[in-house]
C-alpha cells in the first residue's frame, strides 16, 4: 500500500495584507477581547468577543458577526440574570482631582 503525499497549496499572495485602519500597521492579530459598553446609566462588560487587535496602537476591530451578537445583547437589555459575574467599578470625578491639586 502506497501513501500518497497530498500537497496543500497555501495561498499567500491571494489576499492583500490586512492593515489597521487607525495607524496603518499590518501587525494585527486575532484575539478574544473584553469591552465595556454604556447601556443607559449602566456600564456593562462583555468578555470573549472575537476581535482583530492592532499590535501597534491596540485598536480593536469587531467583525460583522460579533457586532450582530453585541446588538442582540443590547436589544435584550443586558439582563442581570444572564451576567456571568459582577465587577465593582471605582468612579472618579475629574473635578475632585483638580480641586485636590492645591493641597500639598
Ligand atoms: Zn493600529
Read off the pLDDT of residues 67-78 as tens digits, 9 standing for 90 and up. Answer: 999 999 999 999
Quickly state the pLDDT bin for 101 (edges 50, 70, 90).
confident
Query: Residue for cell digits 451576567?
Result: 83
pLDDT of residue 52: 94
- How many angstroms is it from 36 CA to the middle of ligand 1? 20
pLDDT at 61 over 80: yes
Ligand 1 centre distance from Cα of residue 18 (Å): 11
Cα 28 to averaged position of ligand 1 atoms, centre (Å): 8
The CATH code of the domain at 28-87 is 3.10.20
Give the whole-angstrom CA distance, residue 39 versus residue 41. 6
Of 79, 51, 49, nearest to 63 (Cα)? 51
Q: What is the pTM of this model?
A: 0.70
Residues facing residue 37 across a β-bridge: 44
Amino acid at each position: 500500500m502506497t501513501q500518497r503525499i497530498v500537497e496543500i497549496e497555501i495561498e499567500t499572495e491571494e489576499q492583500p495584507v490586512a492593515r489597521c485602519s487607525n495607524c496603518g500597521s499590518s501587525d494585527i492579530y486575532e484575539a478574544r477581547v473584553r469591552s465595556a459598553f454604556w447601556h443607559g446609566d449602566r456600564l456593562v462588560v462583555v468578555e470573549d468577543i472575537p476581535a482583530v487587535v492592532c499590535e501597534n496602537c491596540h485598536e480593536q476591530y469587531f467583525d460583522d458577526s460579533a457586532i450582530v451578537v453585541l446588538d442582540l445583547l443590547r436589544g435584550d437589555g443586558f439582563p442581570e440574570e444572564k451576567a456571568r459575574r459582577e465587577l465593582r467599578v471605582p468612579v472618579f470625578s475629574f473635578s475632585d482631582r483638580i480641586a485636590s491639586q492645591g493641597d500639598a
